[in-house]
């Protein structure tokens, strides 16, 4: 069966499905590595309906679903300008979130989302793309390295009271 891939820009009307996919993919990715109460608190704080609506309405944030055969398989969130989670030097685009649902992992869709990110960065004439990735997520780190991302820094990420370290990885375009 041929796989049809489609990118769909999300807006406020998509908030419920975005919330569901966000909670599902974050839990699948990090749930077993974190205290359940910290995880629950984080999900409420970061993926609450009102918070997602604010993010969707921000003109310098962009959400895209990736669909496989018309089913939502994952999503990404990109930020430019003041929407970036950290101030960065130069003309940069932040890849804040990139998630593929478990059933679609290993099908090349993560690669397609990253290619979409780089395409948008080039269209917007960005000099660099950057992201934060948990230092213990070795699979993701190798994935980004294959695309030319290198570690350029680190920052703290809090899951409840648990301080974790995210690598800052950048790719110069």
Residue 97: CATH number of its domain: 3.40.630.30
**Residue 73 domain-assigned (yes or no):** yes
**Residue 138 domain-assigned (yes or no):** no
Rounded mean pLDDT of the chain?
93
Average pLDDT on 4-23 reads: 96
C-alpha radius of gyration, the chain, whole number = 15
**Total structural domains within the chain:** 1
**Residue 65 domain-assigned (yes or no):** yes
Mind listing the pLDDT tens digit for each residue in 119-149?
999 999 999 999 999 998 999 999 999 999 9
Residue 159 buriedness (CB in 10 A; 0-12 / 13-18 / 19+): middle
**Residue 135 domain-assigned (yes or no):** no
**Residue 47 domain-assigned (yes or no):** yes
Q: Which domain range does residue 85 map to? A: 5-125
**Residue 72 domain-assigned (yes or no):** yes
Phi, psi of 3 (to 5 degrees): -90, 125
Average pLDDT on 65-78 reads: 97
State residue 138's pLDDT score: 93
- Catalytic residue numbers, as ranges: 144
**Residue 78 domain-assigned (yes or no):** yes
Q: Which two tokens stand for residue 163?
A: 């301080």
**Residue 34 domain-assigned (yes or no):** yes
Mind listing the pLDDT tens digit for each residue in 60-70?
999 999 999 99
Rounded percentage of the chain residues whose pLDDT exceeds 90 = 77
């Amino acid at each position: 069966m041929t796989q049809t891939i489609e990118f769909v820009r999300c807006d406020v009307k998509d908030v419920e499905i975005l919330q569901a996919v966000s909670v599902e993919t974050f839990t699948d990715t990090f749930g077993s590595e974190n205290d359940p109460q910290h995880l629950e608190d984080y999900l409420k704080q970061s993926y609450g309906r009102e918070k997602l609506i604010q993010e969707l309405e921000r003109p310098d944030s962009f959400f895209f679903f990736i669909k496989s055969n018309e089913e939502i398989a994952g999503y990404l969130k990109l930020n430019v300008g003041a929407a970036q989670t950290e101030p960065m030097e130069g003309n940069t685009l932040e890849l804040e979130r990139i998630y593929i649902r478990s059933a679609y992992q290993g099908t090349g869709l993560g690669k397609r989302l990253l290619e979409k990110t780089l395409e948008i960065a080039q269209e917007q004439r960005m000099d660099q793309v950057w992201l934060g990735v948990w230092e213990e997520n070795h699979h993701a780190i190798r994935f980004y390295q294959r695309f030319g991302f290198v570690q350029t820094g680190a920052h703290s990420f809090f899951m409840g009271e648990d301080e974790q370290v995210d690598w800052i990885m950048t790719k110069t375009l």
